Structure 1
Amino acid sequence: MRVLVVGSGGREHAIARKFAQSEKVDKVFICPGNVGMTEEKLKTVAISELDSQSLAGFAKKEEIDLTFVGPETALMNGIVDVFLEEGLRIFGPRADAAQIEGSKSFAKSIMKKYGVPTADYESFLDLEEALNYVEKKGAPIVIKADGLAAGKGVTVAMDLETAREALRDIFQMTEAKAVVEEYLEGEEFSLFSLVHKGKIYPLPIAQDHKRAFDGDQGPNTGGMGAYAPVPHIPESIVQEALERIVEPTIAGLRAENKSFTGVLYAGLIWTAQGVKTIEFNARFGDPETQVVLETIRSDFAENIIDILEGREPQLMWNTDEITLGVVVANQGYPNTSTGSVALPDLSGLNCFYAGVVERNGQLFSSGGRVYMATETGTDIRSVQKALYTKLDSLDNEGMFYRTDIGNKGV
């Protein structure tokens, strides 16, 4: 098989590497990829993830057997629609189904209509109305930009001034729309499901760390680290999430003629009132993908083909081990990052590369999240210690990372 992975970050590096581990896969192309993706079987090709027509042409020319889409921007841009019209096999939702991520108000309307538990909310097209609503409700409160925001369009405002500032920032954008939600207390976790024609195949759950700094302080980011599975979330809670959240959402999308194929990401919170939905994404999350895929022991390429062809996939994962990953980012992330810095020798780490460029054979950061390192073992404490010992021994000057990833699991 020849596989095409669309995207350029650490998530796509992890997906491409997982496909490359299959004995049935000869070559994995990544468009556009990045210069850190240099393993055997992997080949980057400089075609933008948003150039759907060129990607489809490339898939035809290279006789690609399966295309897997990483980023939400490509999905909302209609890449799946283009590929299906060309008779190409692709795993991901059409643009109308990808609205479950692309429009928070659409996602909320689906949840409301089909009885999916989530936070109370209101949508606003007018800044003054939104500000008045926030004043009435008080803090803490959650402010979300309605459209795509690369995981950073959410402000958990613990005071009213932070909420006001977040709303003003949103309404400075063109075609601005804000969703204001009640603040939920509880334990957050991420549940990925592989979906096709109403059938749902869940993967091990993960826990992401969104805030920039230790102790869940600082601004929201695209994710500073994750681990999977999550030992303190019981299986009964995962089952509740599947039955009350994932299944009715997929059924609801089908009922709305927006049938979903691909990866449905459910960002969930286990509250005193049960499991509730924080958000949906229409693709694998970053950085959870890097740790979840490390747990998979079955042939992932075969699993995806089986799902698309209507066969039961033989999904298998390691239940005895835990994988923990730490993101290393440029100083200043998620706001304006500092300048490009040279990466240390990372040969002793299991790495997935994101924001990197190459100069004279040396990798440099290119801003934002730079790389993610993972470690796998049977005990989360020993895994933490082993990974942080390696990271702390490196010269990561000009970059930073959280030092408490996985603490809730401990």
Structure 2
Amino acid sequence: MNVLVIGGGGREHALCWALDRSASVQEVYVAPGNAGTLDQARPLDLDVQNSEAVAAACARHGIDLVVVGPEAPLVAGLADDLRAKGIAVCGPGRAAAQLEGSKTFTKELCARAGIPTARFESFDDRAAARAYVQAQGAPIVVKADGLAGGKGVVVAQSVDAALAAVDGCFDKPGARVVIEECLTGPEASYFALCDGETVLELGTAQDHKRVGEGDTGPNTGGMGAFSPAVVLTPALKQRVHDEIVAPTVRALKDAGTPFVGILYAGLMLTEDGPKLIEYNVRLGDPEAQALLVRLESDLGELLMAAARGRLAGHTVALAPHSALCVVMAAEGYPGAVETGTPIAGITAAEAEGATVFHAATLRTADGALHAMGGRVLGVTALGADLAEARRLAYQSVDRIDWPAGFCRRDIGAAAAGEGGAT
């Protein structure tokens, strides 16, 4: 079959890479892609927010399956529009995508279905939200209700910080904010592939959201990740399936809005057991990079089975190894960054044993590679254990010549028994 991947980041490069290795896939297309995806996929120049343009491209190129990588097109209803035209899509429709598009939607679903999560209140009024923060005290968590690129969450250690976060959310017209109790414990991510009814575990990961070593500084879209999540034992994974993910999928099916695609549960492992922090309705970035290099199953076959409602009987095979992804970002990230800075050494880095996934790159006519965003590269290595994966990944990082870039040096260190942040 021919597959079209929608998106142009590191997650989409990893999807193209895994689909290119799938025996069931004849050709991979990507829109818009980046400099890295050119090695595995044929780029298409089209407006991915325009479902008519995407459907026309599918007809023109004989595309059998569309895989939507980022959240924004899903929340906007791209999957609904394509399915209405008879095109197979791995990705939820607009209604089910509200799991990520609206934190209020998700928290209210959890309350109805008895899914364990933090206590919360949702506000569309600044004064009421501020009053609630002052009544609850700190630490407390403030979340922008809608899409925020992984950066709309503030874990406030003081009331003043929480009030500032509330004010920041309400600087935007029509804003809504969710305020939660502050849960404590190790964090982990659980990924499931769903066809509207069947829920198949796709794998687990742990990531580092904060920009600075020791998990300091502001939240980012992710500075690195490793898979599997060492804190998720088989017993805990079963609880996540039984108490969180399966009831969510069942509730959406019962509501007439079945979830088809990849469901990403961000978890806090509290003293009372696993609790849901948030849902994403697609693979994470950079978790996808670490997870997909471990995948031994045919990804194309799995995604098509989900799209067609035929996941029952399928299994997911993952290498019994560890994988680790180190994100290289432009200086200044998650704030303003300079674009167009040159990058060299990718071939040398991959010769050290890593796969370098591109997230925001452009190759010019003369063959030179340039950084075009905040998070730019995901240097990903597979090792017999996490310590070896770390060694290989950072060995490869050191071969990349990008003076305008930086990375954290402690990704996975604590989990590998080397000290540092968890």
1:30-69 counterparts in 2 under 5 A? 30-40=30-40, 42-69=41-68
TM-score normalised by structure 2 residue count = 0.94
CA distance in 2, matches of 1:226, 1:278: 17
Superposition deviation, residue 344 in structure 1: 1.9
Amino acid corresponding to residue 288 of structure 1 in structure 2: E
Q: Check if 1:386 corresponds to 2:392.
A: yes
Q: Distance in 2 between matches of 1:81 and 1:370?
A: 31
Q: For residues 20 and 339 of structure 2, what CA distance do their matches in structure 1 show?
A: 33
Instruction: Tell me how far 1:311 sits from its aligned partner.
Output: 5.0
CA shift digits 1:192-222 (9 cap, x unpaired): 1110131100112100111111111010111
Structure 1 residues not aligned, in runs of 5+: none
Q: 1:323 — aligned with what?
A: 323
Letter of the 2:270 partner, please give it.
T
Q: Supply the distance in 1 between the matched residues of 2:236 and 2:22 (Cα, whole angstroms).
A: 32
TM-score (ref. length: structure 1):
0.97
Runs of at least 4 residues off by over 6 Å: none
**Separation in 2 of the partners of 1:108 and 1:373?**
34
In 2, the alpha carbon distance for the partners of 1:396 and 1:154 equals 30
Cα 1:64–1:339 change in 2 (3 A) is closer
| SS of match in other structure, 1:206 | strand
The number of equivalent residue pairs is: 409
Please name the residue that 1:132 is paired with. 131
SS class of match (2:258):
coil
Give unmatched runs, 5+ long, in structure 2.
Answer: 417-422
Whether 1:341 and 2:341 are equivalent positions in the alignment is yes
Asked whether the equivalents of residues 294 and 323 of structure 2 are also in contact (C-alpha less than 8 Å), the reply is yes
Q: Is the CA contact (8 Å cut-off) linking 1:306 and 1:313 kept in structure 2?
A: no
- Note if 1:354 corresponds to 2:371: no
Q: 1:311 to 1:75 in 2, by over 3 A?
A: closer
In structure 1, C-alpha distance between the alignment counterparts of 2:191 and 2:203, rounded to whole Å: 7
Once the two structures are aligned, what percentage of the paired residues are identical? 38
Cα-Cα RMSD: 1.4
Do 1:210 and 1:216's aligned partners in 2 also have CA atoms closer than 8 Å?
Answer: yes
1:318-343 superposed Cα distances (whole Å, 9 cap, x missing partner): 35200000000111111111343111
Corresponding position of 2:213: 214
Asked if 2 retains the 8 angstrom alpha-carbon contact of 1:298 and 1:314, the reply is: no
For 2:382 and 2:219, locate their aligned partners in 1 and report how far apart those are by CA, in whole Å: 26
Query: What pairs up with 1:10-409 in 2 under 5 angstroms?
Result: 10-40=10-40, 42-307=41-306, 308-312=308-312, 314-347=314-347, 348-349=349-350, 350-359=355-364, 360-409=366-415
**Secondary structure, aligned partner of 1:14:** helix
- CA deviation string 1:147-203 (max 9, x = no partner): 011111111111222212211111011111100111110111111111013110011
Letter of the 2:337 partner, please give it. Answer: S
Q: Is the 8 A contact 2:88 2:304 kept in 1?
A: no
- 2:419 aligned partner: none
Q: Deviations over 1:294-337 (max 9, x none)?
A: 11101111122233252535434335200000000111111111
Larger displacement relative to structure 2 (315-324 or 42-51): 315-324
8 Å contact 2:344–2:401 — kept in the other structure?
yes
Q: Secondary structure at the match of 1:203?
A: strand
Answer yes or no: is the 8 Å Cα contact 2:198–2:311 preserved in 1: no
Is residue 186–residue 271 contact of structure 1 (8 Å, CA) maintained in 2?
yes
Q: Residue 126 of structure 1: CA displacement?
A: 1.2
Task: Give the direction of change, closer, same or farther, for the CA distance of 1:184–1:266 in structure 2 (3 Å limit).
Answer: same
